[in-house]
Structure 1
């Protein structure tokens, strides 16, 4: 609770005249922040930073294309090697053993009790984008170690994103930041909204979701539907809540991070959903995987292949389980008809822009898209594919029309309130940039949110879902 106030005061009122000292403070604060989880994994973070810092310089200094390619390959290979070991070693070993056993070759293979370093998927992708951008000559190699290390380890985004680009964040670290009262106030608003979504919505959905998915065999079909819908709101409010807190904290420090969510549950098709959900990851895969593979410029086979590759890899990025891969594959199947009919860019603007309400057709499209995402989320949340298939199968029974029992009366009210605030402010950067309300009405909204936090916050389940990715 005192970490941010101390950093904030030192940052602006002690070291505010020199951005170099501000950067040193933020770097030390970031290392301390990470060490609070497990100081031993600081060594891995230090190694990752040093590897890509040195590789970037070597790539730029290389006299030949072959030499720069070798350095790029070394950096990518080591980065993905560490990520693969910590995140996917047991997955590959267990599946390889299952394959051999299926072929009649009984084997026993060693699995390891590996602790996944928090944030490794995020800071690894920071480093990968940097060395690739240096290789492609989109950015010069950074010689200032403090600035590069801060780019990778900046504490608001270190453990769960957004996944930043050196072209966006490094220039902000290389210039003087001036204290801006309005910017700090807006950062506080976004932090407040993030906390509301996390500890009021997500953490109140979590116990019900856990109970329903843990005992799905004994639940009615209507409760299973409620479980999938509540998980959709849980994961959205948990992850976007973290992103709101991260962006708000950074805005208070005069640094703007990439927007990570743009009201995705107001999307009218899956293509729009993926432009609005986990934007930094979606755009990362687009720029560093999809486009290098040829994007949608080739023939039909290439378009289909590249679409499935990007969605399957995105699913696998989330975790070492076939459920994530199926989740990615389902989204590819949902996306494919739009791409093949050239309708995947039909909705580039927010729905009902300039209007208070959507049309009936827009509302129906939103509901259909939400239903598809809820269906896919069942695989994301399930422990195995068989569990997900069984869960879905039990939905289609007579009990679908029974009254659900797993619902707290206040929870729908809180969710509707959250959706209402975000609908009103869907053209802004975050839910509490309330530009349509007069000052007194804004204050009332803030007080209502504070009341909800004090009255309904669940402080017993505070770990963010994306810390495990």
Structure 2
């Protein structure tokens, strides 16, 4: 939340609020900043609640399960905001008939769920289109009966994914990033303007905006964050579990290093995104 989300928020806000001043490459960078801002913000919000509850001996379900390592959109939504998606599944999707019935019925139910999810986030067409896009992403899976039912650990017990796994993750991540543009934009026209610029030749220019050089630190932190996520993707409390294998002085040195990073690289305090919903 402090190191990733808050730092990303500074640059994402600058770029989105002044999108007409920037080229496609800079807008793409801003979109990527928001992609990790919303993950760090939502997941951080949940992890704070989970950690605080554990201090009192209360276990709360995990809410995010390494979603950006998903290989298709169905897997993404089984890893992203699990408490909300589970509620929608149990109280809306299943009562509508769930995955039973014809393909047309399943497609209808999927669209209803995502449109409601979009409307739940806000009475704005940007959220509705965000939901509709995610429903559209599901279509190939539903039409081919390839809707991933279980969550398998990607590249389990391996250091690197296969080429197929990597390309699947890259495609899913890219589609998710496009949808996030509508989630973050002030209006549909604003989102379309940003995406039009991103998919233009200006994407080939060098990103440039106030603070671009200081943002390199944030980019490095994001890369480190991704590496840590990848290393710990097979367990919920990866740092805690892996740390128990180390000698005490190594473990505590690592913990103090994390505290140092938080205090030294923590961004300007930002309100939790979820407070607006």
Q: TM-score, length-normalised on structure 1?
A: 0.56
Which of 183, 200, 205 is 1:402 aligned to? 205
2:257 match: 448
Distance 1:245 1:267 in 2: 24
Q: Is the contact made by 2:74 and 2:138 (CA closer than 8 Å) also made in structure 1? A: yes
Distance 1:310 1:431 in 2: 32
Asked whether 1:372 is paired with 2:175, we answer: yes
Distance 2:208 2:224 in 1: 22
Asked whether 1:463 is paired with 2:266, we answer: no
Q: Is the contact made by 1:266 and 1:366 (CA closer than 8 Å) also made in structure 2? A: yes
Q: CA deviation at 1:257?
A: 0.7
Q: CA deviation at 1:340?
A: 2.0
Distance 1:230 1:289 in 2: 33
Q: Is the contact made by 1:307 and 1:336 (CA closer than 8 Å) also made in structure 2? A: no
The 1:405/1:447 distance shift into structure 2, 3 A limit, reads: farther
Alignment of structure 1 residues 279-290 onto 2, 5 Å:
279-290=82-93
Q: Is the contact made by 1:425 and 1:434 (CA closer than 8 Å) also made in structure 2? A: no
Distance 2:251 2:174 in 1: 32
Q: Is the contact made by 1:323 and 1:379 (CA closer than 8 Å) also made in structure 2? A: yes
Q: CA deviation at 1:447?
A: 2.5
Q: TM-score, length-normalised on structure 2?
A: 0.94
Distance 1:265 1:211 in 2: 24
1:267 match: 70
Unmatched segments (≥5 aa) in structure 2 = none
Q: Is the contact made by 1:213 and 1:227 (CA closer than 8 Å) also made in structure 2? A: yes
Asked whether 1:412 is paired with 2:219, we answer: yes
Asked whether 1:225 is paired with 2:33, we answer: no
Q: Is the contact made by 2:22 and 2:208 (CA closer than 8 Å) also made in structure 1? A: no
1:430 match: 237
Asked whether 1:322 is paired with 2:128, we answer: no
CA RMSD of aligned residues (A): 1.5
Secondary structure of 2:28's match? helix
Q: Is the contact made by 1:272 and 1:348 (CA closer than 8 Å) also made in structure 2? A: yes
Distance 1:294 1:240 in 2: 30
2:79 match: 276
Asked whether 1:242 is paired with 2:45, we answer: yes
The 1:359/1:331 distance shift into structure 2, 3 A limit, reads: same
Q: CA deviation at 1:337?
A: 1.1
Secondary structure of 1:409's match? helix
Q: CA deviation at 1:431?
A: 4.5
Alignment of structure 1 residues 21-170 onto 2, 5 Å:
none
* 1:268-307 deviations in Å (ceiling 9; x for gaps): 1111000000001111101100010001111122111101
Q: Is the contact made by 2:9 and 2:270 (CA closer than 8 Å) also made in structure 1? A: no
Q: CA deviation at 1:264?
A: 0.3
| Structure of greater Rg | 1
Q: CA deviation at 1:347?
A: 5.8
Ranked by relative contact order (alpha carbons within 8 Å, sequence separation 6 or more), the top structure is 2
Secondary structure of 1:257's match? coil
